[in-house]
Structure 1
Amino acid sequence: MECVAECTPCYLKQVISAFMAADLDQEKQRRLIKEVTKILPSIDDSKSPAENSSIVLLEAYRLMGIEDPFKRAKEQSNIMAMRLYPELKERIAEADDPLFMAIRIAAAGNIIDMGILREFDVEDSISEALSTGFALCDYNQFKEILSNVRRILIIGDNSGEIVFDKLLVEQLEHYASDIAYSVKSRPILNDATMQDAVMVGMTNIAHVIENGNQYLGTVLEACSREFLHELEAADLVISKGQGNYESLGGSLLAGRKTFFLLRAKCPWVAARAGVGNMGLVFCQNAIDVSNM
């Protein structure tokens, strides 16, 4: 997905979110934002919004001299989500279709985004997901592929949200013997890292791998060999979050075996998916088969 003009204010919004998470005073925020904006003319708009956001954010991190401004916030979101875990696990067990219920709850968890949405209500998001459902849903296509898989890769997104993904992994264990879950190698925004995976117990139920970089989304050129091997070898891929949709959507490597699970938090992303803003999406990767 290429950038549009409206992406630039969003880059800066995420930078300011990082400043606020680091508790910088207003004077320092004003000074640093002027420094950060100096790199904007060099941004390549043919790259995905996720990749360009990362470039701008990492410049802000460098100027701040702080490796992980969201460290405390990520821990708190994990704790919050783990408090909800027992109730959600019971709700899934009682559902007519436990797998689909787990998918809906995992989608609802995608509301936890400290870069775009500074304020969010996870419990409200879950209630909405269960009452309203998906604006776009390719569950039937997903089940068709799932019926004959051995290896599944879940491309994770945020801290806190990783707890809801854990509930999904527990359901997918009924279908596949090999489940991998990927996290970022280094911190960016509130994206999940290995530290989050250990904290919430994801490492106990899935083969957790790092993707080799700290870009938002999945920038294939920057990913590790291990991650690319898992992506190629997987029979089914679940890609969480808007950044992964922006960077992997239409990718031949991701292929038709990849399904995106997200809340569309940007009008342009929502329009591309064919849903309203903030709509829940569970869609199969759309690729041009004529190029294969």
Structure 2
Amino acid sequence: MRGPWYISISDCLLCVLESRFSELRRLGINDARSFTDLGKIVMELAPLGRATVFTETFNYMARSLNNVDPHADEKLMLERTARELIGRLSLSDDVIDYVKLAASANSVDIPMRGYDFSVDDFVKNILEEPTWLGTNPIDLRNELNHARKIAYLVDNAGEFQFDLLLIEKLASIGINVVVYARDKPYEVDVTYDYVINKARNAEVRELPGNYSAFWYDEVIRELMNYDLVISKGLDNLETFMEKSPILKNVLFLFRAKCPLIARLFSVERNKPVISMGLNYHQP
């Protein structure tokens, strides 16, 4: 039987504890019982693997707070900030520039071990040049020019405004884009109900839960039928690493916010990355 998957069990469990405790603190929770109860849930779920412990501890926290979307106000702020930022940018007509923007925008996230999101850094670093792994601008442009159907797995609010720019650009060059979004909240991720009202040039499909698309076998079977799957963010990336689906058509766009991910992919911490498939060194 395969054991629980973590890049590093101790580091990842410390990360989920720090992330969830930080969320409680930012939501104004101060009683010790809330923290100790959540800590017990982390330890109970730990043997089930990374995706389960991260997702189900968020679900537990939301239930205990009686708040299905505890980051709702934060997500609205992030989306507003991103729209204002886009209004100040001079955008080219090159689809690759939109891909780079989508990767760079992945700075949005809840606090995690070794990383704390800053709106100022989000704005300041939005044009940062990414590291390319397993592909390059010329090869990717050629692949996009020949693609007819692309799946797009969205991630956090705020960066979604940059995803939307890329989705609309892909649609404008004749590509059928199908967006996959969670059916209920997870951290600061956008949800199906939000995306379907914004992505007017793409079909939007609702995931059967609030795990990554790569968690669900039926969704993986769908993704096999696309010319390309664009996967945003660390949760999608790490769930792919955990589930190891037989998919050779995935383009990962992310920032290496996690120090462990940065080491695996041999990039600077917090560097934006565009990777065709998994291009990392086995730990």
Question: Do the two structures share a fold, i.e. TM-score over 0.5?
Answer: yes
The letter of the residue matching 2:43 is: P
**2:36 paired with 1:34:** yes
The alpha carbon displacement at 1:63 in A equals 1.8
The alpha carbon displacement at 1:254 in A equals 5.5
Question: 2:21 maps to which residue?
Answer: 16
**2:237 paired with 1:245:** yes
Question: 1:69 maps to which residue?
Answer: 70
Question: Taking every aligned residue pair, what percent have the same amino acid on both sides?
Answer: 23
The alpha carbon displacement at 1:118 in A equals 4.3
The letter of the residue matching 1:119 is: S
| Separation (CA, whole Å) in 1 of partners of 2:154 and 2:210 | 13
The letter of the residue matching 1:19 is: L
* Matched position secondary structure for 1:136: strand
The letter of the residue matching 1:41 is: M
| RMSD value, Cα | 2.4
Question: 1:51 maps to which residue?
Answer: 52
Q: Is the 8 A contact 1:241 1:262 kept in 2?
A: yes
Q: Is the 8 A contact 1:21 1:70 kept in 2?
A: no
Spell out the pairing of 1:143-182 with structure 2 (5 A cutoff). 143-182=141-180
Question: 1:107 maps to which residue?
Answer: 103
The letter of the residue matching 1:71 is: A
Structure 2 gaps of 5+ residues are: none
**2:219 paired with 1:220:** no
The letter of the residue matching 2:215 is: L
The letter of the residue matching 1:106 is: A
The letter of the residue matching 1:195 is: D
Question: 1:290 maps to which residue?
Answer: none
Question: 1:192 maps to which residue?
Answer: 190
The letter of the residue matching 1:182 is: Y
The letter of the residue matching 1:17 is: S
| Separation (CA, whole Å) in 1 of partners of 2:237 and 2:87 | 29
The letter of the residue matching 1:265 is: K
* Matched position secondary structure for 1:233: coil
Deviates more, 1:244-253 or 1:175-184: 244-253
| Separation (CA, whole Å) in 1 of partners of 2:40 and 2:244 | 34
Normalising by structure 1, report the TM-score. Answer: 0.82
| Separation (CA, whole Å) in 1 of partners of 2:104 and 2:230 | 15
Q: Is the 8 A contact 1:142 1:259 kept in 2?
A: no
| CA spacing shift, 1:176–1:253, aligned 2, 3 Å | farther
* Matched position secondary structure for 2:178: strand
| CA spacing shift, 1:161–1:257, aligned 2, 3 Å | same
The alpha carbon displacement at 1:2 in A equals 2.3
The letter of the residue matching 2:228 is: L
**2:281 paired with 1:286:** no
The letter of the residue matching 2:97 is: M
* Matched position secondary structure for 2:180: strand
Find the partner of 2:204 among 184, 202, 208.
208
| CA spacing shift, 1:172–1:55, aligned 2, 3 Å | same
Normalising by structure 2, report the TM-score. Answer: 0.85
Runs of 4 or more above 4 Å deviation: none
The alpha carbon displacement at 1:196 in A equals 2.9
Structure 1 gaps of 5+ residues are: 288-292
* Matched position secondary structure for 1:158: coil
- Per-residue CA deviations over 1:71-96 (Å, capped at 9, x if unaligned) read 111111111112223333x4233xxx
The letter of the residue matching 2:254 is: L
| CA spacing shift, 1:250–1:20, aligned 2, 3 Å | closer
Question: 1:275 maps to which residue?
Answer: 267
Find the partner of 2:255 among 257, 260, 263.
263
| CA spacing shift, 1:213–1:250, aligned 2, 3 Å | closer
